[in-house]
Structure formats: structure tokens, C-alpha cells
Structure 1
Amino acid sequence: MSYYLTNSTLPTSPFMTANKKPRLHILPLAFAAVAAPCFAATDWSAIAQADMKFAIEKVRSGHAGSVSGQIDVTAPLEAGARAGMLEAADAKTEQDYNRALVRFINGFGDPHTGIQLKLPTRAWTGVVLDHIDGKFRVIWSEPNWPQPLPPRGAIVQSCDNVWIGTYLKSNVAPFSNHSLEYDTTPSDLARKAMFDIGLGWTPKQCVFQVDGGARQYQLPLRAVADGIGEARIDAVRNRYQAKAKPVGLYRLAADKQWVGMPDFNGGISGDAYTALYPQLAALKHSGWIIFDLRGNGGGDSSWGNRALQALYGAAYGEELGNTATYVKSVIANQPTIDLFRRYAGLPQFAASKAEFEGVAGKLEAALAKGEALAPVDYASREDASALAAKVSRRPGGPRVAAVIDRGCFSSCMNFVQQISSMSDTVILGEPTIGYSPYGEGSQYKLPSGRGAITVPSAIYTAFQATREPFAPTMRYDGNMADDDQLMAWVDATLTRLSAH
């Protein structure tokens, strides 16, 4: 069965998996101690070049995709390294530094390869855009703003004298890890564009189509510290950023139970999940279970798999867990070994202590032989296909549906793979971003001390195509953040399916 821990879990994040026991697929963080060199306070070129060189080397030697020769990593690495060093050498300001590092890391198009540079929202234009029905529209316009703002529903034509689609592609997309071909990317880019986080992508003015005519609005930034406040920005974002209901069991209808799964982070939700499992086990074996996975960016997927064990029994639940991936290889180096040893000693992972120690032992043996990458879990494709066929039919119990969105990633996608192994599972909502075959992120502090990068040290083999989004069986076109409307739609949709 597969357990997946990502950067949101406990000290870090693991993805686990096992044949008889869960195979541990860890996505942990290892901190590399780096002496910070001395730079003149304004020498941004020197700072950027040192950090860029460090980031390039860590991706080249520490990314499982690079070490195993995967073109989705090697190609952006070589192109990004050349462009990144040139851009770093030309850095004159902090913004130049931020843009160079963020552009390089996000060029891999995979959130498992990440960067943390402390870029909080600093200012806002007062409006929020989204991509709806093929148009970029205003979905929020702040009342009582110091200058006139376009009304909600206004259609954006251009910004800073550039067509809006081109503006987003050239000014925002280079700093996003969401590939342009993903269904939700235009929406994601538009939602970010009016918030300043120090990357210089907010427009100064835009032309909007209002009441049948075109009107230009100036969009000067208003600093968060100047009266907007983080709480207000959070309140606005909550109107369109979806998040599952808190971990727990909710009655949707007489034959439908809603299960909140906003994260797989045991440090945050472990107690709630522990209380949930007996409730699931006590349910009658009919009707629907709806897993609400909106905004679940990862963690330890064992929290999800244990829900399946509660519903269908430990044996079948573990088999479902083993359907997500069937080969796992990890970079054999000392930081990764130390990380597994550290996890083996943590009380929250006591049940998996033997598995963690086993992986660490395999990595030590591979390191002693000079092997760069070590297989720590393995099943043949034939065995994996046989298992998939075996578990496709549920042994009784409630039928499963799941609600997914663009925020479901990493161990959340692993859980979707598990429940989708049952042939009658129904997936609802909006598409995710693309599937990543990587995990087990090691974190390294940048030489300047200004932040850190995360590089995945494990690669997984699955039937799922790399970078392919998970698409819903039935798409919801409303606001994914509106619980009442979404849940009413899910209830009606599943009722119709049950009638056929």
C-alpha cells in the first residue's frame, strides 16, 4: 500500500509503499549546512550567481529525474542553467534576484522542485481576475478603493498595452510551475496577476470591456501595510480558493456521506483522522462515500488509505494502496540516508520504523557500491497489472466518489490513483495539474541564506503518464470554493447516476 508524505507533513514529507506492508514513499526535507559567503549589501549579481550555481548543482546531482536521465528534467535543467546564469550575472536589484531564481526552479513545471524565498503578498491592485468561458473577467472588485476600479464581470482586453493572454504568458507564466497546457493554468495565472509578491508582474493599467464599451483603468498598487491587511486579502482569496471541509464525516443525504480531507498532514489533522476511521467502519455497507480533496496539496497518503481500510477491510485497503506505483528508486547519498534514519526514530512513524530502516539499509548498500540510484521497492509491470485487475471490483461496501481540483497534488493524487483502482469510482470537480513521478524532497539552504530549494530524491513508476492531469469523470463549472452550491450539485449528480 502506498503512503505519501509531502512537504506539508510533520517535519517534512514521505511517500510510502509496500507489498505486504505499506511501501514508504517519503518526501522528506534534509537541510544542507552551507556557509553563507560575505557579499556587499547591494551586490545582487554576486548573490544571484552564487545561489544560482548552487541551485543548478543541487538539481543536477540531487534530483532523481536528473540522475536517472529523465528528459522532463534534463532538458529544462540544461536550458535553465544557461539562461539562469546569464540572468543572475545581470541582476541589479532584489527583484532581479527573485525573478532569476524563481524562473529557474519553476521552469521544471513540477511543485516537487520548489523554492522558498519569503515572497509574501506586499501590495494589491484591488481587483481579481479569472478565466471564465474563454474570457478573462473581473471576479472581485474591492469596494471603497482609493481610485475607480472595473466592476465585477468586466472583461479584460489588454494590460500595459499588451493583449491580456500575451501579458500573462510573458509576465506571469515564467514564474509559475503550472504548465501552460494545463486546463486550469489560464485561471491560475489570472488570479495571481494583480497581487504583488516582488516579482514585478502586476500591470500599471488595463483596458476593460464595460457596458459594451472599452474603458482604461489605472491600477496603482496599494501596500498591504497601508491599511489593506493580510486578513482582508485572505478573505478575498477564500472566495475563490477552494479548500475541503475539515477532516470529518458529514451527512450529505440519507445515502451519501461526505468526508473532509483538506490535507494529509498528520501534524495538523492526525487526531481528526484517528477519530474518523471508527466512524467510517461503522457505516452501513451501501450508498456513497464522497472524499472531499479540494486543496489537498499532499502529506502522508496513509491517512487516506487507512480510510479505505476502515471501509473495506485492511487486506483490500492495503491492496488498493499498492496500485498507485510499483517501482520506487531513491538517490543513494548520505543526506537521504540520514533523513530515513531520522524518520525511523520519530514516534509518529513508529508503525513504519522497520520500513524506514530497511530503505536506509538499501541506500547504504548502494552508496557503498558507488550506485547513484537504488531501487527500494519493486514489482514487475505484469504483477502490477494483475493486482489492478484483482482490486477493480469492490468486495461490497459503499461506492466511492471524490471531489478534486487544481489544488489536489502529490499524495492527494496518489490517493486518487488508489480509489480509481475501483472500477465504479466517480471523480467530480475540476482537473488537477499534471501528475509528478517524483517525491521525497530534500531541502537545501541557499548560500546567501535568503531561502532554500527543495529537490525530489525519489522517482516512482506508475501507469499514470508523467505530467498528465487527473480529469474528473464529470466536471463542475461553478465556484469550487462554494461549499453549499458544490455539495448540492454533487448530491444531484450522484442521485442521477444511482438511478441508471
Structure 2
Amino acid sequence: MIRTGVIAVAAAAVLASTAQAAEPGGNADWGAALRQDAEAFHDLILDSHPGPVDPENPGFKPLLERGLKAALVRAKTAKTYPDYYFALQTYAASFDDGHLGLTNYRTDGFVFTSRWPGFLTALRGDRNEVVFREDEAAPPMGAVLVSCDGRAADALAAEVVGRTAGRWSLRSRREAYSAALFVDYGNPYVRRAQRCVFEANGARKTYALAWRDLPAATRDKGFAVASAPRFTTPIELRPYGDGGFWVGLGSFDGDPTSADGVKLTALSKAVEARAGDLRAAPVVVFDLRGNNGGSSSWLSGMAKSLWGAEYVAAREPQSEGVDWRVSDGNIAHMGFLKEMFGKAETPDPELMAWLDGAVAGLKAAKAEGRPYWRKADEEGAPEPAVVADTPMKAKAYVFTDFNCASACLDAVDLLTALGAIHVGQETSADTAYMEVREQRLPGDRVTAYVPVKVYRGRPRGSNVPAAPAVRYTGDLRDTAAVEAFVGGLR
């Protein structure tokens, strides 16, 4: 399958970009802008997303309409850029889908700042603990947040951060954004905490919060303490330990002509050329640190080179089918993919034939007035034959971080189905709605990204993360420590 345009931004970068607007850069009518962009986002989803016509998800369309209604109510009073931004972002986050949202906001000259009460908390286990402070009057390091203004810690985090972050049920999401709990980004739709209860050394104490400007350098320092930044592993094949191999897969960029695409092409050839060595090695590690998804065909091809195509076909997770939403925009998207993959050094003839069929199938479905297209040979396809043996004898591991999603999750699903052991951090998650395309909204202020297909009967449930068999708690940037961690498992 193909995955393109997956949007997954590191938490710190998102937090920095959503800080409070300090100075207006013009006299825009932000109420009118909010109304226009909310309606355009709604209409794009209604036209091209599988959800509004999905008989297996009757709650999707009411959710779409409720979100629009709330945004339009806020448009009546929106006066500033934060009014506009946070209303739209709340609408997008309400779908709890990493493949559906808004990105590349145009700020029209707004300068961003933020405020804080002199300390930051982060999620440690199931508790929000003070991990950074620059005020002696603040709660002590390690103090546990109990409540603020009568709101329990979990409820406060869900309101202040979760409403605009989305997918708050995911632990990986809560961990990534937990440091934002006591940073004021100027969201006019949430209540900033004023009096909070913390527990330290068995005693509880109430603190009145004194909010003040948060310099960017201090914010970045605090975020670094709260959670180690992500690290993107290089795309490479290299020796590991005593006769083993390390396969670095920091990207699955779907464009074979991009910088990462060129590296992935070379890596695929290297894996195929040295397949015998990898198969006979004591261990092979697939390192997915920093991978945000893209095209799952990269890992699928490498797996076939190592385990054998028939063995992979017999064991890879199978859905019951894939329905593609029919719309002019989605048809154009498939044409774009055909053009993009056709520019590869050696275009995959099977993929190109599939894309030809997809474009023709979507056009035929549109002419017949059908909401979905499904490839004919996917309907009632026979189960693949059982293949008992594989030439791959190496012990395989797959290492993930907290933001692995989309095609990265597909890689985890496939590798573990082939016998690899999942280690590292719990992943992010995705819904059954896939294959993202982007579209700039008419006001040219923001870009929407929407999925265009839906899996039917996918083994992994909607927004269900992959949990590692052994959890890594160290610094993701420390490759030597990661290597030692994996080495200690054997």
C-alpha cells in the first residue's frame, strides 16, 4: 500500500508554534477567516473523506457537523489570531485522527510568545510531576500535581492540552505533550490554572500561580528536561555487534526522487544484495526512531528480500478489503502518485499498473454514482498459501519511539508477524482511515490533510498503539545506549 503526506510533528515544535500571539501583524477579520476556513475544512472532509459515507462509522458525520457548529459559534466573537487558530485546531483535533487535520498555518505577521508560572510538569508514570523550575516559590522538584481550581490533574490536562492536541487517549500523546500543561499559549477557550494543589513528601500544599513571560530559551530548556527529543536514525545498513546488522529506517518517504527516497532505494538494493549475510547473521535490528510514516512498500520490499515473498504473503496482516472514497480531488491525487512514482530510477511495474487501475476504477465509480471504489480482485480474495519455512534465520528486533504511526506502524505489524521482537517505546496509533492527501484551503491561510481510503477488518484496531515487549526508558538520541539495550536482550 502507499502512504504519502503523513503529518507528524515533534511535540516541542508544535508547542512552540502555538504560543500566544503578542502583536498583530495586520487588521484581518479573524471571525470571517475562521468561518471561511472551518466551512472549507468541513466541505473538503464531506467531499473526499471516507467517514461521512461510512456505514460502519455512523458517528462520523454528526461529529463533523458538531465541530463545524462550534467553530461557527466562535467565529461570531473571534477578534484575534489566537481566537481563529485555537478554534480551528480544536475542530481538527476533535476527530482524534493523526491522518486528519490542519497544518502550515499562515500567521500574517503575528509574533508568538508564551507565559508560565515558573515551573513545568511532565508525565512520570501516571502522575504529573514537577521536573523543571526557576522560581524558589514554585512547588519542589518531584512534587505531584493533585488538582487545580477543583479540576483533577488528568481532567486539567485533557482540557488545557488535550482539546487541541487530540488523540488524548494515547499514552504516547499524553507523554509527548505533558510539558505544555503549565505553559500558556493564549488559548481563549480554556481556563488557565490559578490555584493548584501539589503533594510532596506525603503532604499537600496549595500554590497560587504567578504567571509571567516565558523566554524561548527557558521554554526549550524545560521541554528538553521534560522529555528527551526525538532522534531520526540515518537511512543505512551497517554492521552491529558481533556479526549482526543494523537497518536504519528513519523515514519511509513515499517520493522515490526525494533525498530520503534516493537513500531508501539504495538501502533496499543493499539489503537485497546482502540478503544472504543478513539471513545468516545472529541478529538484525530494524531501527525506526524518528519514522513518521510514508510508504509501507519500502519495508515490505526489504521483508520479502529477507524472509521470502511467499512467506511474507502468508503471514502479513490482512484486512478484509480497502474502500477508496470517490471524489474529483481523490482521483487527481492518485494521478499525482502515478506521476511521482513514475519518476523513480526504476519504476515498479506492479505499482504503476495498480495506480493505472485505481485511477480508472475511481473514475468508473464516480460515473456510476458510487461513494467508494474497491479493486475487483480484493473482493473475496483467497487466503494465501501457508509457507512453513523461511531462509531468514537471524533473530530480528524492531525498535520504535513514541511517534511511530501510519506506515511506521504497518512496518511494526509486518515485522512482528514475521517473528521480530518489538522493543523501545510504545508507538502512536492511527485509525482505519488512511492514504493522506493535502489541500490548501481557499483563504490560503492553512493546509488541510485528509485520508482517502478506509481499511475494512484491519487486525489492529482504531487508535490502538503497538506496545513493546521490552520498554526502553533512556535517551532516544543516544544510539550507543540503544545498541547496548538491544544487545542486552539477547
TM-score over 0.5 (shorter chain): yes
Cα distance in 2 between the residues matched to 1:345 and 1:244 = 28
Matched-pair contact (CA < 8 Å) for 2:441–2:447: yes
**Corresponding residue number in structure 2 for 1:199:** 187
User: Judging changes above 3 Å, is the alpha-carbon distance between structure 1 residues 75 and 455 closer, same or farther for their aligned structure 2 residues?
Assistant: same
Match of 1:269 among 260, 267, 277: 260
Shift of 1:219: 4.5
Match of 1:173 among 162, 168, 172: 162
Cα distance in 2 between the residues matched to 1:193 and 1:164 = 10
Matched-pair contact (CA < 8 Å) for 2:315–2:417: no
Specify the code of the residue in structure 1 equivalent to 2:483.
M
**Corresponding residue number in structure 1 for 2:14:** none
Matched-pair contact (CA < 8 Å) for 1:72–1:108: no
Shift of 1:299: 0.8
Match of 2:408 among 391, 408, 412: 412
Cα distance in 2 between the residues matched to 1:425 and 1:392 = 16
Cα distance in 1 between the residues matched to 2:297 and 2:155 = 42
1:91-240 correspondence to structure 2 within 5 Å: 91-116=78-103, 117=105, 122-123=113-114, 125=116, 128-141=120-133, 152-159=141-148, 162-180=151-169, 182-195=170-183, 199=187, 208-209=198-199, 214=205, 216=207, 218-224=210-216, 228=217, 236=224, 240=228
Q: Deviations over 1:71-130 (max 9, x none)?
A: 353342233233332233332322121121111111110011111125897436475532
**Corresponding residue number in structure 2 for 1:246:** 234
Match of 1:331 among 310, 321, 325: 325
Specify the code of the residue in structure 2 equivalent to 1:407.
N
User: Judging changes above 3 Å, is the alpha-carbon distance between structure 1 residues 491 and 380 closer, same or farther for their aligned structure 2 residues?
Assistant: farther
Match of 1:84 among 42, 47, 71: 71
Matched-pair contact (CA < 8 Å) for 2:395–2:420: yes
Cα distance in 2 between the residues matched to 1:459 and 1:189 = 28
Cα distance in 1 between the residues matched to 2:62 and 2:402 = 25
1:367-386 correspondence to structure 2 within 5 Å: 367-376=366-375, 378-379=377-378, 383=382, 386=383
- Aligned to 1:296, the other structure's residue is in SS state coil
Shift of 1:150: 5.9
Total equivalences in the alignment: 450
Matched-pair contact (CA < 8 Å) for 1:433–1:470: yes
Cα distance in 1 between the residues matched to 2:2 and 2:213 = 44
Cα distance in 2 between the residues matched to 1:451 and 1:238 = 30
Specify the code of the residue in structure 2 equivalent to 1:307.
M
**Corresponding residue number in structure 1 for 2:53:** 67
**Corresponding residue number in structure 2 for 1:460:** 455
- Aligned to 2:280, the other structure's residue is in SS state coil
Cα distance in 2 between the residues matched to 1:476 and 1:418 = 21
Specify the code of the residue in structure 1 equivalent to 2:430.
Y
Q: How many percent identity over aligned positions?
A: 22
Comparing 466-475 with 274-283, greater Cα deviation is found at 274-283
Shift of 1:193: 2.9
**Corresponding residue number in structure 2 for 1:489:** 485
Q: Deviations over 1:193-252 (max 9, x none)?
A: 34555536675776655677647463423243xxx399x569938961333421123444
Gaps of 5+ in 2: 9-25
Matched-pair contact (CA < 8 Å) for 1:95–1:198: yes
- Aligned to 2:324, the other structure's residue is in SS state strand
Specify the code of the residue in structure 1 equivalent to 2:453.
A
User: Judging changes above 3 Å, is the alpha-carbon distance between structure 1 residues 148 and 467 closer, same or farther for their aligned structure 2 residues?
Assistant: same
Q: Deviations over 1:237-284 (max 9, x none)?
A: 896133342112344422543322122115242233233332552435
Shift of 1:481: 4.9
Matched-pair contact (CA < 8 Å) for 1:435–1:470: no
Cα distance in 2 between the residues matched to 1:140 and 1:234 = 6
Q: Deviations over 1:432-459 (max 9, x none)?
A: 2333211222323233321021121111
User: Judging changes above 3 Å, is the alpha-carbon distance between structure 1 residues 179 and 391 closer, same or farther for their aligned structure 2 residues?
Assistant: farther
Gaps of 5+ in 1: 10-39, 496-500
Shift of 1:363: 0.8
- Aligned to 2:91, the other structure's residue is in SS state helix
Match of 2:334 among 340, 343, 353: 340
**Corresponding residue number in structure 2 for 1:443:** 438
User: Judging changes above 3 Å, is the alpha-carbon distance between structure 1 residues 382 and 355 closer, same or farther for their aligned structure 2 residues?
Assistant: closer
Match of 1:302 among 278, 283, 297: 297
Shift of 1:361: 0.8
**Corresponding residue number in structure 1 for 2:429:** 434
Task: Please give the TM-score of this superposition, normalised by the length of structure 1.
Answer: 0.78
**Corresponding residue number in structure 2 for 1:27:** none
Shift of 1:407: 0.5
Specify the code of the residue in structure 2 equivalent to 1:46.
A
Matched-pair contact (CA < 8 Å) for 1:184–1:431: yes
Specify the code of the residue in structure 2 equivalent to 1:402.
V
**Corresponding residue number in structure 1 for 2:22:** none
Specify the code of the residue in structure 2 equivalent to 1:376.
K
Cα distance in 2 between the residues matched to 1:481 and 1:72 = 41
Shift of 1:340: 1.7
